[in-house]
Amino acid sequence: MKWAVLTFFPAAALLLAQNVNYQPDTKWRAPEEAAARKNPLADKPELAAGGRKLFKRNCVECHGDSGQGLKKAADLQLPVVQDQSDGALHWKITNGNPDRGMPSFSGIPELQRWQIVLYLRTLKPGATENKSPAGEPPSR
Ligand code: HEC
């Protein structure tokens, strides 16, 4: 019995620390023209490092250090999230889904939101911490 207890808890902790069963809200969808927008920073992958800083400051409290999703927040490593276009992710970050606990980040400057999208693309399934080279967000 003791053995069962010891093995159960680490597994449970792991499940709570990553929202692998996350399912996107089907009613929360970027309009077509927003989803079709291209990331203006797509040819500057080095700016993902600044995106990581913005992510640490604004997002880890809910999405966790490596975007794995705490509690109800989306596991951003999942294909259901990564398969969406840059434009769709940018739109979701901008508008949020307050009914389901995702705030709007329209207060973060436009280009910095695109920079966060760059960083989201570096998230790898199973990573505990994402290391990227140092870099500063562009001023705008
Ligand atoms: C207060 C908690 C909280 C914070 C802070 C937060 N999120 Fe979220 N986020 C959520 C929740 C909860 C969801 C799931 C919403 C849903 O179920 O529709 C979500 C969903 C998302 C999604 C969409 C996943 C999908 O369904 O397609 C993205 C992308 C995202 N968050 C990115 C971010 C980024 C980037 C930041 C920081 C700028 C951030 N979030 C900050 C709680 C949060």
For residue 15, is pLDDT > 80? no
From the CB of 110, is ligand 1 less than 6 Å away?
Answer: no
Distance 67 CA to ligand 1 centre (A): 9
Inter-axis angle of helices 86-95 and 110-120, nearest 10: 120
Q: What letter would DSSP give residue 76?
A: T
Q: How confident is the model at residue 124 (pLDDT cuts 50, 70, 90)?
A: confident
Distance 119 CA to ligand 1 centre (A): 14
From the CB of 56, is ligand 1 less than 6 Å away?
Answer: no
pTM metric for this prediction: 0.84
Among 55, 41, 48, 76, CA closest to 132: 48
Which pLDDT score, from 0 to 100, does residue 125 have?
Answer: 73
Query: Is the separation of the CB atoms in 76 and 83 below 8 Å?
Result: no
From the CB of 46, is ligand 1 less than 6 Å away?
Answer: no
Q: What is the pLDDT of residues 69-116, one digit of tens each?
A: 998 999 999 999 999 999 999 999 999 999 999 999 999 999 999 999
What is the set of domains in the chain, with CATH numbers?
Answer: 2-22+29-120 (1.10.760.10)
> Among 57, 63, 76, which residue has the most ligand 1 atoms within 8 Å of its CB, making it the best to mutate?
63
Which pLDDT score, from 0 to 100, does residue 139 have?
Answer: 52
